[in-house]
Amino acid sequence: MDFELDERQKELRREFEEFCLDEDNRRILAELADEGDYYNAHSWELFKKMAERGWISLNWPVEYGGRGYTPEEMTVFHETMAYHRMPIIALILSSLVGNVVAYFGSDALKAEILPRASAGELLFCLLYTEPDAGSDLAALTTRAEEDGDYYVVNGTKIYTSLGHLANYGLLAARTNPEAPKRQGISLFLLPLDSEGVTVSPIYTMGDGRVNEEVFTDVRVHRDYMIGEKDSGWFVLTMALGLERGSIAGVAAQGRAFLDGLIDLLRETGMTSDPVVCQSLAEMETVLEVSDLLNWNLTTLLGKGDVPITEAAMAKLYSSESMRRMGSEALNMLGFAGLLRRGSPGALLEGLSEYQYQMAPMISIGAGSTEIMQGIIARTGLGLAAKG
């Protein structure tokens, strides 16, 4: 396969890069980095600037204010943003939720959400995982009971990225407890300022923040339901596919890390050490394979395929590669590599410490490594592995 960018894609990359390298935008990024948590970072200022360029809604359908970008163009976007450490979680979530609302939302919901979201005024989060339902998401117990034109929501969600900043959450809740577990689930776009919603922090390794949301008798109008009642699993499967399709950003962050590492090791003369060179060569190879898997996935998505196996492979390999790179870098940098941004003597602005602590979480979010292996065994190899 030929993954060479065409002229339009190269032009887009230049346009995205220009934004990322803009002096004022670098200043905002540096301020965000000082807060320590790159993964969950968000800047409304940057987000609005991106919205002015139409970048929040790039791959939404054109009739809803999107630009109808192809998967290839989206990969160029995510790669460029991630390489320059732009906060991409909010972008990925806007692209995902915008598409879900455009395709499956009520007319009232589309009118309420899509113009404001594409203007960069709204943030979204995913309310899937529960204390007793993570990998086995269909075991979720959050209830949404019908009451006239409303549903009444009770339950708890955990590990929500951006839950403390989001205006709306894509909520998976059980609307029919009698049905088989995948058939009784519905999706809602829940306004998080509704009465009865409590959001609290959960701090992760590396001082990242995810969240817990408790819903106590939260009333949500039926217009906020996404798709048909009890058919949420179908939409959820599509949404998970969209999330895994945006994995290219992970490898691009790894690429930026390796480039910085090589520059640093050159400056210190360590690149004359054959063992260091072997490690760097290994990292380069791992990133090349990640890129190939990501572009293979992108190309299949561009053809309109539903590449479940390839999405799992790209997610599995890219996230596990981050772990390997984090450990390898620490082996080379020694104790100084463990110092955080802002500490005297910290190398690479603390990125090696951050990379090391963040990598395990990337291998859990959006489906863990073992779950990806199970998918590949089942859908790729036709084996009967459960997961």
Residue 126 sits in the site that holds ligand FAD (CB under 6 A): yes
Site string for ligand FAD, 130-159 (x = CB under 6 A): ----xx-----------------------x
80 touches 152 (CB < 8 A): no
Residue among 275 and 383 whose Cβ is closer to ligand FAD: 383
User: Which H or E run contains 156?
Assistant: strand 150-157
194 close to 220: Cβ distance less than 8 angstroms: yes
- Smallest gap from residue 32 Cβ to ligand FAD (A): 17
Q: Which is nearer to ligand FAD, 141 or 368 (CB)?
A: 368
Q: Which stretch binds ligand FAD (CB under 6 A): 124-132, 226-234, 235-243, 323-331?
A: 124-132
Identity of the residue, 219 or 378, whose beta carbon is nearer to ligand FAD in the bound complex: 378
Instruction: Work out whether 125 is an interface residue with ligand FAD (CB under 6 A).
Output: yes
Query: What's the first-to-final CA gap in the chain, in angstroms?
Result: 31
Say which residues have a Cβ less than 8 Å from residue 352's Cβ, sequence separation at least 6.
257, 261, 326, 329, 330, 333, 337, 338
C-alpha pair distances (Å), 142 with each of 121, 272, 335: 28, 58, 45
CB-nearest residue to ligand FAD: 134
Closest distance of CB 378 from ligand FAD, Å: 11
Applying CB under 6 A, which of residues 129, 246, 309, 319 lies at the interface with ligand FAD?
129
- Residues binding ligand FAD: what is the number (CB under 6 A)? 21
Q: Does 386 bind ligand FAD (CB under 6 A)?
A: yes
Report in angstroms how near the CB of residue 126 gets to ligand FAD at its nearest: 4
What does each C-alpha distance from 247 to 89, 228, 260 come to in angstroms? 11, 29, 21
Span 364-383, contacts to ligand FAD by CB under 6 A? 364-365, 367-368, 370-371, 374
Measured from the CB atom, the residue of 37 and 112 that comes closer to ligand FAD is 37
CA dihedral angle for residue 190, residue 196, residue 202, residue 208, rounded to 10 degrees: 40
CB of 308 to ligand FAD, least distance (A): 16
Q: What angle do CA 248, 167, 130 make, to 5 degrees?
A: 70
Applying CB under 6 A, does 318 fall inside the site for ligand FAD? no
Please name the residue ranges forming H helices in 334-368: 351-362
The answer to whether the beta carbons of residues 78 and 246 sit under 8 Å apart is: yes
* CB of residue 156 to ligand FAD, shortest distance in Å: 11
Is 350 a binding residue for ligand FAD by CB under 6 A? The answer is: no
Q: How far apart are the C-alpha atoms of 364 and 210, rounded to whole Å?
A: 13
Binding residues vs ligand FAD (CB under 6 A): 125-129, 134-135, 159-161, 210, 361, 364-365, 367-368, 370-371, 374, 386-387
